[in-house]
Amino acid sequence: MVELDHLLGVRGSAATVVGSDNTAVTVGSGTLPIFATPSMAALAEQAACAAVQAYMPLGRTTVGMGMHIRHLAASPIGHNVSAEAVVVAVEGRRIEFKITVHDEREKIGDGTHERFAIDAEGFMNKLLLKKPKGAH
């Protein structure tokens, strides 16, 4: 088992520009052309991945296990949005992050995110056994 306690305090970030591809109306989470909550969640996951991937031993990665986010303010098309993830807890292979998201003017979101450290090859091999219903 890989020890991950050294990850406490590690930070990662990710950024995007609000465009037609990541608005609520486009992703189906609302009817307005504003930064979508699912897009904010994806940006938060990108920040968390950026925080820890360089620390993963060869052949290991992390997968998302859960997220609790609050979308506090709307961001219009054209605004720059950035997310920061900080490792706040490690329990075995479970890594917990504190998430904050800002646009050019203000904090637009916050929350927590959990990831689980895995062996990538073993994970994908198990997935190959998970065949769609009706497949032979």
Reported as a single tens digit per residue, the pLDDT across 18-65 is: 999 999 999 999 999 999 999 999 999 999 999 999 999 999 999 999
Provide the phi-psi class of 78: left if phi over 0, else alpha when psi is between -120 and 50, else beta: left
Active-site residue identified among 26, 37, 61, 100: 37
Length of the chain: 136
The pTM of the full predicted model, rounded to 2 decimals, is 0.92
1 pLDDT higher than 60: no
Catalytic-residue membership of 23:
no
Sheet (strand 60-71) strand order: 11-17, 80-91, 94-102, 107-119, 60-71
Catalytic-residue membership of 79:
no
Report domain extents, the chain: 5-128
Percentage of the chain exceeding pLDDT 70: 97
2 pLDDT higher than 70: no
Is the domain defined by 5-128 classed in CATH 3.40.50.10540? no
Active-site residue identified among 71, 79, 102, 113: 71
* The pLDDT value given to residue 40: 98
Catalytic-residue membership of 61:
no
